[in-house]
Copies of this chain bind each other. A is one copy, B any other.
Amino acid sequence: MTSVNTEARPGLFSKLVASGAHQKLLAFASLVILLVGFTLASPNFMQVSNIIAILQATSVNGVLAVAATLVIITGGIDLSVGTLMTFTAVMAGVVLTNLGLPLPLGVIAAIGAGAFCGFCSGSFVAKMKIPPFIATLGMMLILKGLSLVISGTRPIYFNDTPGFDLISNGSLIGMLIPSLPIPNGVLILFLVAGATAYILSRTVLGRYCFALGSNEESVRLSGVNTDWWKIAIYSLAGAIVGIGGLLIASRLNSAQPALGLGYELEAIAAVVIGGTSLSGGRGTILGTLIGALIMAVLINGLRILSVAQEWQTVVTGAIIILAVYADMVRRKKSA
């Protein structure tokens, strides 16, 4: 009965088009254009050390953006990633410096605090039916305040925890390949991104992530405990933000309690530039990574060119719009 496509035998190209693979290939385009442009514009841009600097600048925002991607795919939004990052860093500080406990416990504290706060946001959204924007805006403020309260409005230094700064600044890869001293922070970003991409595409949690964003009510009516899964997704996102908190704390060798405001918009921008839809139901981690890289390359390149800072802002705004526009045009063509 189902004789669709008997006649239409697509060639390799249209097969690629149908599978959407070309889209992912093309998504690099904006990034590549930027890279080429900056390389031509400044001899200082394309150096191993600068590329590493760009990657390192991506690491924290990248991790936050990966977390934000999860929530955005469910059709939600997470405005608390920035201050939650700070909060988890402070928790690590409390455990390691104030309580003097060993390093693994600090790691657990940060990730655990992240997961717990994600759990709270998730519960507000799922159980109390508060729109994600408001639930996470509230959390953003609460966590901002709590970070200051807990730290006593003072940075907490990790001087008593030897090796803490290696979490982000050390280089395992550099130990193996001395000419490629990629910092661990970057490695961790890619590990986190890889794991999250796996979860999204291969596990039940990932499946529900997309399903919730696609049509939550129909998922609920399929007998799925949507509230529970939603909370689980927010918790996972929170845990990932906790890793981001460790990265930034390690990089600054301190927990800076006033940091983090504004990072949420940057993370969300990376997600959207990467092609994830804010209305939920679709998105990729690879796209988010590219989005985060685009932002980092852009800012780095403009600085290298010594563009006046106010113009840097203008150009960044314009390029964000253009990058997304290019993506739109591409999709329309391929649709």
Contacts and interface: CB of A to CB of B under 8 A. Distances in A.
B272 A145 contact: no
Interface string A84-110: 000000000000000000000000000
Contacts of A317: 137-145
A212 to B, nearest CB: 14
Interface string A144-187: 11101100010000000000000000000000000000000000
Interface residues on A, range: 35 or more
B313 A137 contact: no
B134 A272 contact: yes
A119 to B, nearest CB: 15
A23 interface: no
A148 B310 contact: yes
A329 to B, nearest CB: 9
Main secondary structure of the interface of A (DSSP, over half): helix
Contacts of A50: none
A79 interface: yes
Interface string A286-327: 000000000000000000000001111111111011001100
A131 interface: yes
B137 A320 contact: yes
Contact of A318 (B138, B273, B314, B321): B138
Interface in A35-54: none
16 contacts: A124-B325, A128-B325, A128-B328, A131-B278, A133-B272, A134-B269, A134-B273, A139-B317, A140-B317, A141-B317, A142-B313, A142-B314, A143-B317, A145-B310, A148-B310, A262-B262
**Considering the complex of A and B, which 6 residue pairs feature the smallest CB-CB distances, nearest first?**
A141-B317, A145-B313, A145-B314, A142-B317, A148-B310, A138-B321
